[in-house]
Amino acid sequence: MPSTDQMHRTIAVPTLPRRIISLVPSQTELLHDLGLGDRVVGITRFCIRPAAWFRSKPRVGGTKKVDLGKVRALRPDLIIANKEENERADVEALEREFPVWISDIDDLGGALDMVRRVGDLTDAAAAAERIAKGIEAGFAALHVPGPPRKAAYLIWREPWMGAGPGTFIGDMLRRCGLVNVFEDRAERYPTIGLEELAAAGPDLVLLSSEPYPFKARHIPELQRALPAASVRLVEGEPFCWYGSRLLEAPAYFSGLLGGRTA
């Protein structure tokens, strides 16, 4: 069955794929929530949700370094990957032997499109539609009070790096009523010094739990550089997991920013 992925590539996929490998943590969780169960035969070592799958499913390496031998041993009839999270060389090597469906997501609309397409691809369209409608309803009900606040969302340390324009994180910040101080940068994930960050004047500095695992011990350094800003630790999943985890994101954002869900 031909299927078009989010890279506008047409790939040949079985009518009912029965041996699926996921190379993306948020999409692995989506496959679970679509009810695919034993049809998912392989995941990465970063696919931590659901915990039962993380403990029991075979792992094929990481998102950036896929073990082709382990993939071959699992004989997949469908591999689900992502343009940003997986290495191009890995994907090109895999697609010479297996059907590889690639997502490309930089906003909520792209995430909803992915959910529905993966549902169609795996014969789980009804479950996918329920998830997509639930996500749409949650974001429609999200209301954050007060005037827009300027925010810097940091994803790395040494060097400091932030989420910039054209990123899914940036779209989530906007939906939270925040103005991304990196929005005018040329890079999607710009490197920035503390003096430059201070000059940008963020009201909020959000330290993500992933990919760099920021902890409370990292707050004082930033607070000294930006004494007027509120520096907070945040869970990365609501901001950058673009599968069924988005069902929980609006409530998390509301609690974080003092908003409400209607």
The answer to whether the CB of 65 falls within 8 A of the CB of 44 is no
Q: How high is the pLDDT of residue 262?
A: 57
Q: What's this model's pTM, rounded to 2 decimal places?
A: 0.95
CA 137, chain centre distance (Å): 19
**Total residue count of the chain as it appears in this document:** 262
Q: Are 66 and 99 in contact (CB under 8 A)?
A: no
What are the structural domains, with CATH classification, of the chain? 2-104 (3.40.50.1980), 142-261 (3.40.50.1980)
**CB half-sphere exposure, 231, CA atoms < 13 A:** 19
pLDDT of residue 149: 94
| 54-77-127 Cα angle (round to 5) | 65
Phi then psi for residue 144, to 5 deg, are -110, 120
Strand order of the β-sheet with 40-42 is: 40-42, 20-22, 78-82, 100-103
Burial label, 216 (beta-carbon count in 10 A; 0-12, 13-18, 19+): exposed
Spell out the per-residue pLDDT of the chain, length 262, in tens. Answer: 789 999 999 999 988 999 999 999 999 999 999 999 999 999 999 999 999 999 999 999 999 999 999 999 999 999 999 999 999 999 999 999 999 999 999 999 999 999 999 999 999 999 999 999 999 999 999 988 788 899 999 999 999 999 999 999 999 999 999 999 999 999 999 999 999 999 999 999 999 999 999 999 999 999 999 999 999 999 999 999 999 999 999 999 999 988 666 5
Tokens of residue 161, six digits: 């790096």
- Separation of alpha carbons 34 and 126, rounded Å: 9
Taking the mean position of all CA atoms in its chain, how far away is CA 21?
A: 17
Contacts of 172 (CB under 8 A, 6+ apart): 108, 238, 239, 240, 249, 253
The predicted pLDDT at position 40 comes to 98
Contacts of 107 (CB under 8 A, 6+ apart): 168, 171
The answer to whether the beta carbons of residues 59 and 48 sit under 8 Å apart is: no
- The rounded distance, in Å, linking the Cα atoms of 22 and 20 is 7
